[in-house]
């Protein structure tokens, strides 16, 4: 028995089901009719980071130290970019490898540098194409020579406004990237024949961010872009499935859902107006976030590193830039007058309170902010901005709670809560991103061990890792936060007949073996 998992960033039933009904996604139609499908509840916040790593580890962000695309240490006033999991938590393929099973992982976000596993890894965004992104190392050369393999479309930039003038090129390049991903997948499956294979499509997320409005308004130039991308994906999935062995179970999932944006709310601007935030601190934070978010060539130009970028290997330049970012921003943040600041938003939806507050002040401020934010109303429609405001201990647990935001805003669908300081609190234009994430993505399963029951109850992103381990009869670590989805298996299937095995895993054993493999690969032992 083998398992193929296809992860599609931002996949949503809001797009898939209407296209299935119109007869435009025949592969999805077949899988839905012959398997089970459900809403998949993502992490909070519903961002690619931490969601992809919560999927691969079966653990909540509090155990991983991932609460967004950056990690903010408020006690030391440091902000660092996440390109992998700060903790050393094993993932699905590590557990499978411990039991002699092989894995192939292609384009998974937050997997740089690629680690040594029993099988192969092709890392995914965020990274440069010049990075060393494969294990084994020589695999990159093979993929580039055979398929012109790339991580990113050349039109993509971390400056979203620049994409507005390159949208047609972006759409064309993403479609080509998707085709290359599937060609590479077929090749790698045939070459390695892994027991577990995962292919992730990341830039579906970007396409939906930038073309959703055109889809809804049936724009003459770009109204068909999202539909065409999904038709391409459907065709490629069908071709890939046709090339697989009959004993393969197929899983499809996304890290979060998607919907159109009604408005964006700038939380730090609101904090400033309400007196919770001191302007000098805002200046400091924005300086740091610019360094964090725009670490590509735009950053080099801004920091006058253009010449250096031509002389220095990209991988080393990224590391240098991140060190500069952390060091300079840390110094600036330390100069901020925290006596005048009570709360600040970092990233998306996260709120950090002044660490110098005593316990009574801290709890009083948390309750006050929760109450006030819950009453914020869209002045145009009268709708509430947020569905909830959560205390960190209500949604997270684990050894990295010190890095978790004190409060997390859960926006209502159609609203985006962001940390930028703008002229106004509300933005109703949404000129750049016309769509954003939702809590519920997609889950779909089909294969010889899977029921054909149609829609089932909602599942959580943490449930996939333990379910996959059980499918291979590998014990599920008790420290995983998800459950085995026993309801998806046919009664006469092996996964249904077997009891779920659990283990109190000593992760250090896996980590030591993994480190030895990495050292052997580097020819250091």
CA distance 488 to 490: 7
CA angle (209, 211, 212) in 5-degree steps: 75
pLDDT digits (tens, 9 = 90+) for 234-265: 999 999 999 998 899 999 999 999 999 999 99
CA distance 255 to 277: 32
Q: Which fold has domain 2-54+88-260+436-517?
A: Alkaline Phosphatase, subunit A (3.40.720)
Examine the pLDDT at 355 and tell me if it is beyond 70. Answer: yes
Instruction: Output the pTM of the full model.
Output: 0.86
Is residue 399 a contact partner of residue 351, using CB atoms and an 8 Å limit? no
- Predicted confidence band of residue 291 (pLDDT cuts 50, 70, 90): very low
Residue with tokens 């916040």: 45
Identify the pLDDT of residue 466: 99
Boundaries of every domain in the chain: 2-54+88-260+436-517
Beta strands in 368-509 (DSSP E): 386-391, 407-411, 415-418, 426-427, 435-438, 440-446, 454-455, 459-460, 476-477, 502-503
Identify the pLDDT of residue 313: 41
> Which are the contacts of 118, defined by CB distance < 8 A and separation ≥ 6?
93, 96, 97, 100, 101, 102, 103
What pairs with residue 26 in β-bridges?
none
* pLDDT (average), residues 137-156: 91
- Predicted confidence band of residue 186 (pLDDT cuts 50, 70, 90): very high
Identify the pLDDT of residue 505: 65
CA distance 123 to 110: 8
Q: How many helices (H) and strands (E) does the chain have?
A: 20, 23
The values of phi and psi at residue 501, to 5°, are: -95, 140
Identify the pLDDT of residue 325: 37
Is residue 286 a contact partner of residue 269, using CB atoms and an 8 Å limit? no
Identify the pLDDT of residue 208: 96
Q: Which residues of 255-266 are buried (b: 16+ CB within 10 A; e: fewer)?
A: bbbbbbbbbbbb
Cis peptide leading into residue 45 (ω within 30°): yes
pLDDT digits (tens, 9 = 90+) for 456-472: 999 999 999 999 999 99
Identify the pLDDT of residue 490: 98
- Please name the helix (run of DSSP H) or strand (run of DSSP E) that holds residue 198, with its range, or none: strand 196-201
Identify the pLDDT of residue 167: 87
pLDDT digits (tens, 9 = 90+) for 395-413: 999 999 999 999 999 999 9
pLDDT digits (tens, 9 = 90+) for 6-36: 999 999 999 999 999 999 999 999 999 999 9
Question: For the chain, how far is it from start to end, CA to CA, in angstroms?
Answer: 35
- How many residues does this entry show for the chain? 525
Q: Which of 46, 31, 35, 48 is closest to 83 using CA atoms? A: 48
Pull the structure tokens for residue 492: 């006469």
């Amino acid at each position: 028995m083998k398992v193929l998992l296809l992860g599609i960033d931002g996949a949503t039933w809001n797009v898939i089901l209407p296209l299935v009904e119109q007869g435009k996604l025949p592969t999805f139609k077949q899988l839905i009719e012959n398997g089970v499908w459900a809403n998949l509840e993502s992490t909070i916040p519903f961002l690619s980071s931490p969601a992809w790593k919560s999927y691969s580890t079966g653990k909540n962000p509090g155990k991983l130290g991932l609460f967004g695309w950056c990690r903010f240490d408020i006690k030391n006033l440091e902000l660092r970019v996440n390109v992998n999991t700060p903790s050393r938590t094993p993932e699905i393929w590590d557990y499978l490898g411990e039991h002699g099973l092989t894995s192939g992982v292609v384009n998974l976000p937050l997997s740089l540098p690629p680690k040594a596993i029993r099988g192969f890894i092709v890392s995914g965004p965020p990274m440069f194409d010049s990075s060393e992104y494969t294990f084994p190392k020589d695999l990159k050369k093979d993929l580039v020579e055979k398929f012109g393999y790339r991580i990113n479309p050349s039109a993509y930039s971390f400056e979203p406004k620049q994409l507005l003038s390159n949208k047609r090129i972006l759409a064309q390049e993403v479609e080509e990237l998707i085709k290359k991903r599937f060609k590479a997948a077929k090749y790698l499956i045939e070459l390695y024949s892994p027991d577990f294979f995962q292919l992730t499509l990341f830039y579906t997320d970007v396409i939906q961010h930038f073309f959703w409005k055109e889809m809804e308004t049936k724009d003459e130039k770009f109204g068909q872009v999202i539909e065409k991308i999904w038709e391409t994906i459907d065709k490629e999935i069908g071709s890939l499935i046709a090339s697989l062995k009959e004993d393969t179970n197929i899983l499809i999932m996304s890290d979060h859902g998607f919907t159109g944006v009604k408005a964006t709310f700038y939380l730090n601007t609101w904090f400033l107006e309400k007196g919770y935030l001191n302007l000098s601190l805002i200046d400091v934070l924005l300086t740091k976030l610019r360094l964090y978010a725009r670490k590509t060539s735009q950053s080099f130009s801004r920091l006058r590193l253009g010449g250096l970028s031509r002389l220095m290997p990209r991988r080393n330049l990224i590391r240098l830039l991140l060190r500069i970012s952390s060091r300079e921003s840390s110094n600036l943040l330390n100069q901020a007058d925290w006596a005048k600041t009570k709360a600040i938003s970092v990233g998306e939806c996260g709120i950090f309170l002044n660490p110098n507050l005593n316990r009574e002040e801290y709890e009083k401020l948390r309750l006050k902010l929760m109450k006030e934010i819950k009453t914020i109303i869209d002045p145009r429609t009268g709708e509430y901005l947020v569905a909830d405001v959560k205390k960190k201990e209500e949604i997270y647990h684990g050894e990295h709670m010190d890095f978790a935001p004190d409060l997390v805003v859960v926006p209502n669908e159609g609203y985006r809560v962001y940390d930028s300081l703008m002229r106004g609190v509300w933005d109703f234009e949404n000129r750049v991103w016309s769509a954003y994430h939702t809590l519920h993505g997609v889950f779909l399963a089909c294969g010889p061990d899977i029921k054909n029951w149609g829609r089932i109850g909602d599942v959580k992103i943490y449930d996939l890792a333990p379910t996959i381990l059980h499918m291979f009869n590998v014990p599920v670590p008790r420290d995983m936060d998800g459950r085995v989805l026993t309801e998806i298996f046919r009664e006469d299937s092996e996964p249904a007949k077997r009891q779920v095995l659990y283990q109190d895993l000593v992760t250090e054993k896996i980590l030591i073996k993994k480190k030895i493999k990495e050292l052997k690969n580097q020819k250091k032992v």
